Structure 1
Amino acid sequence: MAEHSNAYEVKFRLSRRRSSVPRARALLHSVLGDWGLGQTLDVGELVLSELVTNAMRVRVPHDRLVGVRIVWLTADGLLRLEVSDAGEGKPEVRAPCEDETGGRGLLLVEALAHRWGFEHRACGIGKTVWAELKAPHLAPERDGIQVAAVVVRPGQCVRVRDAWQMVRSVGTERSASDCGQTVVLGLDDGSALRMDATEPLTVRDADVSSPQRGGEETSG
């Protein structure tokens, strides 16, 4: 791991096989644990998974590896994830309907990342797709952090109408337009909150001293 005055950096390469996606997540999990950035883990894993999956689908010679670079920009409070491949073309966000089996990767990245983009590699062929996530040096502030509804977990607290509610269950259902996905959050007061999967929510971890009633994850 390289460490600079205002950044921490890890680089590695992945072979073009299906097992490389969970391997990338596992490596990110280890790196963020070492850096004390556990609060960005769930979002980081989702974003990196989508970037690596997209890179694996690019048509290139089979022996071409996929490069991954993880950087914590401490001065900016950002976690930067970069995935490089030997393919050409411009990555574009699509909005497929429910019956389509793919094409949602960059849509999810756009929803979860602070910002994202791509650049052609200065040395060699291909491109690098990058995404930056907010990663403050300290643990999340008591006022919470903003994430997409799709990554909210049971046991977390969400801000609803200027009040905090604990999430007891998380489910999904098809949206009324048959495009996209609706997340259904079962709240501690017995109500249910329905939101588009990409819609932002303010969340925080429940206080250790607060009793957690729990709840199991469901799917609709």
Structure 2
Amino acid sequence: MAESFGSNEVTFRLSRSRRSVPRSRAALHAVLGEWEVAQDVLETAELVLSELVTNALRVPVPSDRQVSVRIARSPEDGLLRLEVSDAGSGRPEVRKPSDDETGGRGLLLVEALAHRWGVERRAGGIGKTVWAELKASDIVAEPVEWQVAAVMVRPGQRVRVRGEWRAVRTVRSERYATGGLAVVLGLDEGPALRVPAVEPLAVRGEGDGTA
């Protein structure tokens, strides 16, 4: 599963396999967990994405054609957007199957759960993209970050340590045995971080992580 990450979107491709539906759900959980999306929105998004991916996998296309998924957030509009693209022709339509039919309710469920949904031609390729948007008023944009020398870090900010963001509780300076200046950052988790005073660190601001 090839992946591409941005601050407000994640895209990945799935093989034409039954395992791709649970894989798409796992990826969705990881992304929405990182974005701190509410549990009820996550559960709705899981149902919608599962239906969209399932439908895309059923489209008759060559077996080497993958399914593309895009998960994006729009903090300004309070919307979460799910897109699933396939190489198939045609335009899926909502069906209203009879009570004795076991299938055909996928888009009916999407229509019921989504704020809005639609179909459009696939950008830059053959096939189509089926998309759905969910209301998610609690999503926020990726916090602004910048780089500063370690000596400029202040308590209350957050620094990136081995790929994880940690809150800075205390800051003190000390000398190396060789005479250089070091900065020791006391963090909310794990051991203190001891680095040269001039080493650049990725920093976010106090509280919600914005500048």
The alignment's TM-score, normalised by the length of structure 1, stands at: 0.60
**Secondary structure of residue in 1 paired with 2:94:** coil
Match for residue 24 of structure 1?
24
Match for residue 45 of structure 2?
44
Correspondence list, 1:1-220, <5 A: 1-3=5-7, 8-39=8-39, 40-137=41-138
In 2, Cα distance between the equivalents of 1:136 and 1:15?
Answer: 32
Tell me by how many angstroms 1:96 deviates: 0.6
What's the CA shift string for 1:135-175, capped at 9, x where partnerless?
Answer: 11269xxxxxxxxxxxxxxxxxxxxxxxxxxxxxxxxxxxx
In 1, Cα distance between the equivalents of 2:73 and 2:37?
Answer: 9
8 A contact 2:38–2:138 mirrored in 1 = no
In 1, Cα distance between the equivalents of 2:44 and 2:115?
Answer: 11
Unpaired stretches in structure 1, ≥5 consecutive residues? 140-220
Amino acid aligned to 1:20: S
Q: What's the Cα RMSD here?
A: 1.3
In 1, Cα distance between the equivalents of 2:6 and 2:98?
Answer: 42
**Secondary structure of residue in 2 paired with 1:94:** coil
Unpaired stretches in structure 2, ≥5 consecutive residues? 141-211
Amino acid aligned to 1:93: V
Max radius of gyration: which structure?
Answer: 2
In 1, Cα distance between the equivalents of 2:20 and 2:26?
Answer: 10
Structure-2 change in CA distance of 1:89 and 1:138 (3 Å): closer
The alignment's TM-score, normalised by the length of structure 2, stands at: 0.62
In 2, Cα distance between the equivalents of 1:121 and 1:113?
Answer: 21
**Secondary structure of residue in 2 paired with 1:110:** helix
Amino acid aligned to 1:65: Q
Identity across aligned pairs (percent)?
70
Tell me by how many angstroms 1:38 deviates: 3.0
What's the CA shift string for 1:52-93, capped at 9, x where partnerless?
Answer: 000000000010000000001111100000000000101100
